Amino acid sequence: MSLTIVAAIARNGALGHRNAIPWRAPSDLKRFKEITWGRPLIMGRKTFESIGKPLPGRETVVVTRDPAYFKGEPPAHAHLAGDFESAVALADDLGKSLHCAEIIVAGGAEFFRKALPRARFLRLTRVDCEPQADVFFPEVDWTQWRELRREKPPRGDKDEADLEYVDFGRV
């Protein structure tokens, strides 16, 4: 099963600030839904908490060291893993049951860093802003990637910045 990183990144590499996305871009959220629908997602606890619930149409693997994180039964479509490797194994099993061949790594920065050496695809949204941030996308060795697709959609009415969608595949 291949790993795909899906992330929205500001010009300054920003991903988040105070456990929230530091811009409003409903157009990107729509793209995220299209890319991830029907696939297992891996995300850290903080990313999960920033969303607040499992996303519909996806199986979410939450990585946390706290085995009692959900305080009882996890919500429907949510699963726990104690570390990134366990999350990948669990997401692989979930992906097989969903009949898909792709696992989505949806954040945060630590999990993007861990996934980068193994990821087959990067599906990035470049956000045309430089917000204050405390979480940044990790450094990428771009010699290992080739651009597959680039799209600059019209700015949505509620988007706070222009967006560009850029997909990369490993060389």
Tens digits of residue pLDDT in 94-117: 999 999 999 999 999 999 999 999
Pairing of strands 102-105, 40-44: parallel
- What global pTM score does this model have? 0.97
Q: Which domains does the chain have, with CATH numbers?
A: 2-170 (3.40.430.10)
Q: How sure is the predictor about 72, in pLDDT bands with cuts at 50, 70 and 90?
A: confident
Sequence-ordered strand ranges (E) for the chain: 2-10, 14-16, 40-44, 59-63, 78-81, 102-105, 119-127, 135-136, 145-151, 163-170
pLDDT at 50: 93
Would the pLDDT of 165 be above 90?
yes
Taking CA atoms, 121 is separated from 39, 70, 169, in Å, by 14, 31, 5
Helices (H) then strands (E): counts for the chain: 4, 10
pLDDT at 41: 98
pLDDT at 73: 87
pLDDT > 70: percent of the chain: 100
pLDDT per residue over 73-98, tens digit each?
899 999 999 999 999 999 999 999 99
**Look-up of token digits 């204050």:** 132
Q: What is the mean predicted confidence (pLDDT) over 130-150?
A: 98
- Computed over every residue of the chain, the mean pLDDT equals 97
Backbone angles phi, psi at 154, to 5 degrees: -65, 145
pLDDT at 38: 97
Q: What is the mean predicted confidence (pLDDT) over 30-42?
A: 98
CA distance 6 to 66: 25
Query: Is there a contact between 14 and 22 (Cβ–Cβ < 8 Å)?
Result: yes
Backbone angles phi, psi at 71, to 5 degrees: 50, 60
Query: Is there a contact between 27 and 162 (Cβ–Cβ < 8 Å)?
Result: no
Q: How sure is the predictor about 137, in pLDDT bands with cuts at 50, 70 and 90?
A: very high
pLDDT at 170: 98
Query: Is there a contact between 134 and 16 (Cβ–Cβ < 8 Å)?
Result: yes
Would the pLDDT of 25 be above 90?
yes
Q: Is 26 left (phi over 0), alpha (psi -120 to 50) or beta?
A: alpha
